[in-house]
Amino acid sequence: DVKVTQSSRYLVKRTGEKVFLECVQDMDHENMFWYRQDPGLGLRLIYFSYDVKMKEKGDIPEGYSVSREKKERFSLILESASTNQTSMYLCASITAGVGNNEQFFGPGTRLTVL
Amino acid sequence: DAKTTQPPSMDCAEGRAANLPCNHSTISGNEYVYWYRQIHSQGPQYIIHGLKNNETNEMASLIITEDRKSSTLILPHATLRDTAVYYCIVSKNTNAGKSTFGDGTTLTVKP
């Protein structure tokens, strides 16, 4: 069974803290994605990565950074958490190449910033 | 990627077919139609995708109109566990997963 796992299901942090959200996939996928999901706004792409050490900005990268040191792991970093970053964060992965855009999603991390 | 329009909510009786519509009038020739669903408190799950022809798998059927400007996802015998938000997405396969998810349709299956 293909699997995308995220380090925490629920996380509570304080304003100004540095926050790390980890995502690991066991499918040897090249491409990985971080989304946030908010009511009324759907899923919005924050960052994505096509390969180790490569990253590209998505639609809402402000306030976030990412790290991809190993193929299976994609980390989302909130350098200084703010209350408007309270959200559900979803990680996804997909194999590279033309053919199928089926994304595999993790269970999500619900982050609350106080 | 082309944008999609879906009704915000729908109800369906358990055991009946659920037909979820999606408009994608600006779809281009090399864009596929994908459907995902998200059950409460879980990540989205892929259901099915297609380009021109109708598609069927163990979960659902996808009917795409001849002009490709709209499609319908059919769950042939809806169960209570099919209650979820259903997302219709249009995407080039070369985008390698970079997709735009809207608000989707909240399907409620009622006993």
- List CB contacts of B67: < 8 A, sequence separation 6 or more: none
What integer pLDDT is reported at residue B1 of this predicted model?
A: 61
**Chain A residue with Cα closest to B99:** A45
pLDDT at A88: 96
Sorting pLDDT into bands at 50, 70 and 90, what band is B40?
A: confident
Detail the DSSP E strand segments found in chain A: 4-6, 10-13, 19-25, 31-38, 42-49, 56-57, 65-70, 73-78, 87-94, 104-105, 109-113
Ranking A88-102, B69-83, B87-101 by mean pLDDT, the lowest is: B87-101
d(CA B56, CA B93): 19
**Whether the predicted pLDDT of B29 surpasses 80:** yes
CB contact B93 to A (< 8 Å): yes
Task: Give contacts of A50 with chain B, Cβ < 8 Å.
Answer: 96
| B34, B46, B92, best to mutate vs chain A, most A CBs in 10 Å | B46
Q: What is the pLDDT of residues A25-84, one digit of tens each?
A: 998 888 899 999 998 888 899 999 988 989 999 989 999 999 999 999 999 999 999 999
Beta-carbon separation of B34 and A101 below 8 A: yes
Per-residue pLDDT at B63: 97
Res. A107 pLDDT band, cuts 50 70 90: very high
How far B20 CA lies from chain A's nearest CA (Å)?
18
Q: Which of A62, A90, A93, A92 is nearest to A78 (CA)?
A: A62
pLDDT tens sequence across A1-20:
668 999 999 999 999 999 99
How far is the CA of A18 from the CAs of A12, A33, A79, B93, in angstroms? 12, 20, 5, 35
Contact (CB<8Å) B46/A103: yes
CB distance B43–A90 less than 8 Å? Answer: yes
